[in-house]
Amino acid sequence: MALKTKVKEYRENAGLKQSELAELVHARRETIVHLENGKYNPSLKLAMDIAKVFHVTVEDLFEFTEN
Partner DNA sequence: AAGAAATGTGAAATATTTTTAACTTACAGG
Partner DNA sequence: CCTGTAAGTTAAAAATATTTCACATTTCTT
Least distance in Å: CB of 52 to its own copies? 9
Does 7 sit near DNA (CB under 7 A)? no
Centre a 10 Å sphere on the Cβ of residue 62 and count the other Cβ atoms it contains: 18
Least distance in Å: CB of 55 to its own copies? 12
Q: Are 25 and 51 in contact (CB under 8 A)?
A: no
C-alpha 65/C-alpha 55 separation (Å) is: 23
* Residue number, 4 or 17, with CB nearest to DNA: 17
What angle (nearest 5°) sits at the alpha carbon of residue 59, between those of residues 26 and 47? 15
Least distance in Å: CB of 13 to DNA? 12
Binding residues for DNA, per CB under 7 A?
A: 8, 17-19, 26-31, 33-37, 40-43, 46
